[in-house]
A and B are shown apart, each in its own frame.
Chain A
């Protein structure tokens, strides 16, 4: 046995009910129940459907995590939970469950930031985080560039999307192309049969003027509209839509902007480690393009495996364990679920 703390983490900010167990930097269990199939026919996450599913999944998912890890709840040293940002009704289910565990087990509670958890999770795979590091978080809910000095106290937002999140753009373009929700994996697959230079789609916020005000911000709404226009023009001229080419060219436009801005931020802040997280980090082109270009700048790229990039409880447990190890003050039982929790508030 080790002296490292056994931490249980709960994540319910969107449509995944995640319960993870970690001991220090070691992942013991990562149980996830997803309601994604219930949202698929609506083309996006329906908050009430997600909240109902979280309530149903909570206890079975906690039990499954304990079983997988081979621990009993009584062995747990601390509880961590996503307090925000996210869907408020969904967050509340996880926060209330975490408080009940804290009361029932008489163990400290850590209400943590979802975005910081996406950063901390990489420790489970690649060991201690380089300090500082630059984190790019891209998913259906977020697109942020963060300078991380200390993931338990100091996260500085450098930029974020000014309209759609990157993952949202994938979902919307997938829908235009008749591909299922969530769009990311389907675009990635379709893109393999197409050419990334077939269509020259716009790169949002990269003009010289935009770079003055929005150097590290993203915009994907114009790109999405450009793809829609292009597809409509094809359809109205009676020509078939080359799904592979559209998918590959769209994906290239997104990845190009993401990687360009992330590396620009690394160079600007003199940071040598880039960490990519969030569901879009599972995109194969984003990974390869980041590695290819980062190497030229002498920047190391860390990307957790896809299962740890999407929302899960292990990432929350990972951040919680770091809080315990670094001796941070636990949260009180009256903390709220904050749907718009700023990333600078890592611990409530």
Chain B
């Protein structure tokens, strides 16, 4: 049984896959990844009558997404993998969003995740949900400028910046269920469970000590 989880957005998404999705859950409280993820995993296992040893692999969304939540998901996946002695796979969370949106719409899409500071993480996908080009982090207006105005935009962008994009659609966030399917059907690149940050830490080296007198 594959355990899939994604913490690249304000909500936690968890799914169990065993020749098909057997359970899926989304958290109700935003920004509480640390409190909610572990109980959601045990609750999911309980609902399907499985025990921890039934889990044979873990897949986690590696972002990009706000870092604190992202790290909760990735350290959980890695440590669970260590404790159970099972493999841990990473998948780009934007790819998961891109696959689901392209499948639904049957056309090329742009997937977005909130990057805070008035910016979005984003990437473009073809009608098969295959990523075109790099992952980016930019302001909504700058993204819109780069896009064909008829391009369908999904994810957090349409919710947070409706005025920036002409054509918008669902889903709002990557789901662990799609993540599990993407892994099972090998529809996106499997990567190490390393976070995708796209930004360096904010830190500046101090100048000389301030004068006090």
Q: Answer whether A and B are interacting partners.
A: yes
Is A301 engaged at the interface, CB distance under 8 Å to the other chain? no
Shortest distance between the CB of B88 and any CB in chain A (Å)? 9
Contact in complex: B213, A96 (CB < 8 Å): no
User: Which single residue of chain A is at the shortest CB-CB distance from B84?
Assistant: A104
Cα–Cα, bound, A95→B37 (Å):
11
Instruction: Provide the bound-state CA to CA distance between A172 and B74, in Å.
Output: 36
**Is B163 an interface position by the 8 A CB rule?**
no
List the one stretch of A112-120, A133-141, A334-342 in contact with chain B: A334-342
Residues of A within 8 A of B32 (CB): 336
- When the two chains form their complex, are residues A99 and B38 in contact, meaning their CB atoms are under 8 A apart? yes
Q: Is the interface of B mostly helix, strand, loop or mixed?
A: helix
* Most chain A CB neighbours (cut-off 10 Å) among B39, B79, B197: B79
Which residues of A have CB within 8 Å of B68?
51, 88-89, 92
**Residues of B within 8 Å of A, CB-based: how many?**
37
Total count of chain A residues near the partner, CB < 8 A: 45
The stretch of B100-108, B110-118, B199-207 in contact with A is B199-207
Q: Which residues of B contact A97 (CB under 8 A)?
A: 75-76, 78-79
Q: How many A-B residue pairs have CB under 8 A?
A: 124
Q: How far is the CB of A108 from chain B (nearest CB, A)?
A: 13
Taking CB atoms and an 8 Å cut-off, the chain A residues in 58-84 that contact chain B are 58-59, 62-63, 73
- Indicate whether B212 reaches chain A with its CB closer than 8 angstroms: yes
CB of A258, distance to nearest CB on chain B (Å) = 23
Cβ A100 vs Cβ B76 within 8 A = yes
A106 within 8 A of partner (CB): yes
Best-surrounded residue of A89, A106, A333 (most CB of chain B within 10 A): A333
B82–A59 touching, CB < 8 Å:
yes
The one of B34, B78, B201 in contact with A95, judged by C-beta atoms closer than 8 angstroms, is: B34
State how many angstroms separate the Cβ of A60 from the closest Cβ of chain B: 10
Q: Mark B70-82, 1 if CB is under 8 A from A, else 0.
A: 0110111111101
**Cβ-defined partner of B203 (8 Å) among A48, A88, A93, A336:** A48
Q: Which residues of B contact A175 (CB under 8 A)?
A: 206, 209
Name the one of B33, B36, B203 contacting A49, with C-beta atoms under 8 angstroms: B203
- Contact in complex: B209, A103 (CB < 8 Å): no
Are B212 and A232 within 8 A (Cβ)?
yes
Whether B41 is near chain A, meaning CB under 8 Å from some CB there, is yes
**CB neighbours of A332 from chain B (8 A):** 39
Contact: A334 with B39, CB < 8 Å? yes
Residue of B nearest to A224 (CB): B212
A105 on the interface (CB 8 Å rule)? Answer: yes
Chain B residues contacting A176 (CB-CB under 8 Å) are 209
Contacts of B79 in A (CB 8 A): 58-59, 62, 96-97, 100-101, 104
Q: Do A104 and B71 have beta carbons less than 8 Å apart? A: no
Contact among B41, B78, B84, B197 for A58, CB-based, below 8 A: B78
Chain B residues whose CB sits within 8 angstroms of the CB of A333 once the complex forms: 38-39, 42
- How far is the CB of A16 from the nearest CB of chain B, in Å? 16
Residue in chain B with minimal CB distance to A335: B35
Residue from A48, A59, A101, A228 in contact with B67 in the complex, judged by beta carbons closer than 8 Å = A48
**A102 interface residue per 8 A CB criterion:** yes
Interface string of A123-138 (1 = CB under 8 A from B): 0000000000000000
Chain B CB within 10 A, most for which of A54, A62, A63, A96: A96
Task: List residues of chain A with CB under 8 Å of any chain B CB.
Answer: 41-44, 46, 48-49, 51-52, 54-55, 58-59, 62-63, 73, 88-89, 92-93, 95-97, 99-106, 172, 175-176, 225, 228-229, 232-233, 332-337
Q: Can you list the 5 inter-chain pairs with the closest CB atoms, starting with the nearest?
A: A104-B83, A100-B79, A99-B38, A48-B201, A46-B203
Can you show 20 pairs from A to B with CB atoms below 8 A apart? A42-B204, A43-B205, A48-B202, A51-B71, A52-B67, A59-B78, A73-B83, A92-B34, A92-B68, A93-B75, A96-B71, A96-B72, A96-B75, A96-B76, A97-B76, A100-B77, A101-B83, A228-B212, A332-B39, A333-B38
Q: Given A59-B82, A103-B42, A104-B83, output 12 extra A-B contacts at Cβ < 8 Å.
A: A42-B205, A43-B205, A46-B201, A52-B201, A55-B74, A92-B68, A100-B75, A100-B79, A101-B83, A228-B212, A332-B39, A335-B35
